[in-house]
């Protein structure tokens, strides 16, 4: 079985989906001959032609607006927004048009588009290339939000997203685009949207995470196990909307403690939704307050990036504080 990084897994999923379904098309800034700024679409225009893989002007609202129109005409577009930081000119099209298409047409029309976009810090890109805006979109009924953490998940979840009849925001953790490597089946496969993965079993503390920060979490739980004897269970959400409440609650009821980790700012971040879920459904099982380890409520910093991101040291402190409460 070949080993791939996330870029290669995304490229492989796109190739397979375009081979199996002629309605799949790719559009975006430099996705054609250049193969995308991170090379995720490299070689696809050469293989499938300029009518199925094509460049667009630097106009995010135009990219998503065009994709919505294509979806209404029977295609399954996969538009790329070069960085999640650039997605806001298309915000209205995504949350008011694509996400509500099924509802406002009484189920007569759907909007099967998969918007790929790299997100998150860790590449010294400053505040225009490092933000994590997932919470804005998770507040939108009708939209699905998916974030893989490794190549295996990237290929299977992207295939599921493209085949889904609803609009999907597929956010790719660019910090581990090439750093995360894993064995990935050559053949096609899908992973269920809305289903979390139990990345590690444990008894004392549940850690809830997704995307690039999952790798920091797995290092941290190894360290507190070795240094302090704290056994942590790790829930990798994979899909943020709709999320797998059953797996989260089952784990928290077992351990009695919960720590949520994400890169985005703390206030009204995704961790707040997880904390509310646990408070509403599992508060009588808790032996310690729910704790969040997150980015800070500041613009994403350029020079203090390592301090901003929830690194292994900060995660370990959160786990120890929660366990020893």
Residues marked as catalytic:
129
Whole-number Cα distances in Å, 290 to 49, 94, 103, 284, 286 = 51, 32, 35, 12, 8
Where is 169: in which H helix or E strand?
A: strand 168-173
DSSP H stretches of helix in the chain:
6-20, 44-48, 60-72, 91-92, 101-104, 134-138, 151-163, 213-228, 245-255, 270-282, 305-308, 312-323
The residues that bridge with 197 in the sheet, in sequence order, are 236
Which candidate, 193, 228, 199, places its Cα nearest to that of 213?
199
- Taking only Cα atoms into account, the Rg of the chain, rounded to an integer number of angstroms, comes to 19
- Nearby residues of 116 by Cβ (< 8 Å), 6 or more positions away: 10, 28, 40, 78, 79, 80, 81, 158, 170, 172
Sheet holding 197-200, edge to edge: 197-200, 232-236, 205-209, 258-265, 291-295
């Amino acid at each position: 079985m070949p080993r791939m990084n996330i870029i290669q897994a995304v490229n492989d999923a796109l190739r397979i989906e375009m081979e199996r379904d002629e309605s799949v098309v790719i559009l975006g800034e430099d996705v054609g001959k250049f193969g995308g700024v991170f090379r995720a679409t490299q070689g696809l225009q050469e293989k499938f032609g300029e009518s199925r893989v094509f460049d667009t002007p630097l106009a995010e609202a135009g990219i998503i607006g065009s994709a919505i129109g294509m979806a209404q005409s029977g295609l399954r577009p996969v538009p790329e927004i070069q960085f999640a930081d650039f997605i806001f000119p298309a915000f209205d099209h995504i949350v008011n048009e694509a996400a509500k298409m099924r509802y406002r047409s009484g189920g007569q029309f759907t909007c099967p588009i998969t918007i790929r976009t790299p997100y998150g810090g860790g590449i010294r890109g400053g505040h225009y290339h490092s933000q994590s805006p997932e919470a804005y979109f998770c507040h939108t009924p009708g939209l699905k939000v998916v974030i893989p953490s490794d190549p295996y998940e990237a290929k299977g979840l992207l295939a599921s997203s493209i085949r889904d009849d609803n609009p999907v925001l597929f956010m790719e953790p660019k910090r581990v685009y090439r750093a995360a490597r894993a064995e990935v089946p050559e053949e096609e496969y899908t992973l269920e949207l809305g289903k979390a993965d139990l990345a590690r079993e444990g008894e004392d503390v549940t850690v809830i995470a997704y995307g690039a920060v999952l790798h920091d979490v797995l290092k941290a739980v190894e360290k507190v196990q070795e240094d302090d004897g704290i056994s942590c269970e790790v829930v990798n959400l994979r899909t943020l909307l709709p999320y797998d409440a059953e797996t989260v609650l089952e784990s928290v009821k077992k351990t009695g403690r919960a720590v949520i980790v994400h890169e985005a700012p703390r206030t009204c971040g995704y961790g707040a939704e997880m904390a509310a879920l646990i408070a509403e459904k599992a508060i009588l099982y808790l032996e310690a307050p729910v704790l969040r380890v997150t980015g800070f409520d500041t613009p994403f910093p350029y020079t203090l990036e390592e301090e901003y991101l929830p690194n292994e040291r900060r995660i370990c402190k959160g786990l120890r504080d929660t366990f020893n409460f």
